[in-house]
Amino acid sequence: MTKKTIASGEALKLAVVGHTNTGKTSILRTLLRDVYFGEVKNEAATTRHVEQARLTDSQTGEVLVALYDTPGLEDASGLMDWLEDNTASRRDGIERLQQFLAADIAQSIDSSRVSDSYDYSQEAKVIRQLLASDMAIYVVDAREPVLGKYKDELAILSWAAIPVMPVFNFTDSQNANIDDWQTMLARRNLHISTRFDSVAFEFEDEMRLWQNLATMLTHSEMLEKLMARRTEDWAQLYDEANIIIADFLINVAAFVREISEDDDPMPVLEQMQEAVRQSERAMQHNLLNLYKFYDNAVAATPLELQAYQQDPFDPELLKSYGIRTTSGAAAGALLGLGIDAAALGTTLGLGAAIGGIAGGLLSNTSSIADRITGVKRLYIDPATLTLLATRAIDLLTALRHRGHAATDATQLLYKGEKNSLDTSSDGSYDNNTDEDSNSITVWPANKLPSELKKARGKPQWSSLSSGKSEQAQLLRADMAWSLSGKLQSYKRES
């Protein structure tokens, strides 16, 4: 099948070809983890020139695969007619393509291609790159029916005498016609294909793409090295993301403010709430940047979803996550403040505060002495910590299923995701839990992980309390690492 055997240890030259507007550039964006690569529009012939990109070893910088984004094939049927009329059928495919490339119609005269109906300069760019490559992937829009023009494209591509593997894009669509396509491809001896949705991303699909390509090569060392490195990198990203979330949660859990017995707690509560909102926003942006999704005009970011915009101190949001309080009516009335009811000794009365402590609402027993001496300590409550943790895990899970070609914020949602990110037609949250159903949170609000419980008695761990960001982060580093391991067990994927 191969025109030329790729040398051992040589970077693979991979051409990405296909009909206009099938998502070639979109697939490259997702493979490269780069929202800036190329130009993606919902119109024909967006890519007008061949663009090169490289996949390198993240540790050594060695180029493993050179990717070539090519213009769309716009009139393969017309080109096939020309080839049949002007080239001899007894010559091999490469000779016939080379004869075409030497003809006037293959030369770029007018880039607009409006005046000359026999201008095949765009097809010529694709074929030149095809002949210079080791193999190609043929991108198929799975939503398209099997038409004659696609059959002509595959016939022309086969003349280049290099391995060609069809890749189905937009496979998550309900209108996918993959069975029909596979029947047609099999009749053309193209039995190896794969699915890779550039919007609804699955890491396993990417690995299957590289694995299938490797089976078509005599020397596949570079692809095997690429798969091993990208698997390591993907796991490391997940570890780093969970540490970012764990560090944020411990920072918030350790957040404490002291006020005197007679002070009005509301101004301090509002300050604490705003500090937590800003801290959550910073954590979310750290996750976006880690997975190379940026808050800019190139692509809609996940944070444009209402699920991530709603105030974490909104009682209705707590309800949408199925979070209930077990600390009585008084605590329930204060739940929206995100503050332990037991911390408000004066508001509820000293007896109620001590009762709250006995019920386990506060983790440090010195709080009783504080109240006797007229000191009140204000903390962020377990329900809010649970909400913040669940929303962070939801965001991480969604980022791991979002392709870098996604241009709509709603494309963040991965297949099967529900509950905390569901909204009804009027924009309000659908609550899929009832009073007796299982919570959709990462843990019950009354059963915080031991790391967060310990943080409640360590105000020096919180930069929100001390204002000393670097020092506080160092102090909580070991605990954040421990909590991150637990977070990885809370899989929100279906």
**pLDDT tier, 296 (very low <50, low <70, confident <90, very high otherwise):** low
The alpha carbon of 418 is separated from its chain's Cα centroid by a whole number of angstroms, namely 17
Give dist(CA 293, CA 398) in Å, integer.
12
Q: Tokens 């119609």 identify what position? A: 105
pLDDT in tens, 456-469: 889 999 999 877 88
Instruction: List, in order, residues 6 or more apart from 281 with CB less than 8 Å away.
Output: none
The alpha carbon of 44 is separated from its chain's Cα centroid by a whole number of angstroms, namely 26
| Rounded average pLDDT over 50-70 | 93
Left (φ > 0), alpha (ψ -120 to 50) or beta: where does 218 sit?
alpha
Burial status of residue 60 (CB atoms within 10 A of its CB: 0-12, 13-18, 19 or more): exposed
Q: How many angstroms separate the Cα of 132 from the Cα of each of 2, 51, 128, 216, 326?
A: 12, 14, 6, 17, 68
| pLDDT of 274 higher than 80 | yes
Left (φ > 0), alpha (ψ -120 to 50) or beta: where does 146 sit?
beta
Highest mean pLDDT among 40-54, 238-252, 342-356: 238-252
The alpha carbon of 236 is separated from its chain's Cα centroid by a whole number of angstroms, namely 15
Retrieve residue 343's tokens. 């911390």
Q: Mark out the alpha helices in 167-254 (DSSP H runs).
A: 178-186, 203-214, 221-253
Q: Residue 8: what pLDDT?
A: 61
| CB neighbours of residue 62 within 10 Å | 15
**pLDDT tier, 411 (very low <50, low <70, confident <90, very high otherwise):** low
Instruction: List, in order, residues 6 or more apart from 358 with CB less than 8 Å away.
Output: none
Provide the strand spans (E) within 237-347.
256-260
Buried b (16+ CB within 10 A) or exposed e, 73-98: bbbbebbbebbeeebeeeeebeebbe
- ∠ CA 460-462-468, nearest 5°, is 75
Where is pLDDT greater, at 373 or 485?
Answer: 485
DSSP line for 94-105: HHHHHHHHHSGG
**pLDDT tier, 372 (very low <50, low <70, confident <90, very high otherwise):** low
Q: Rg (Cα) of the chain, in Å, rounded?
A: 29
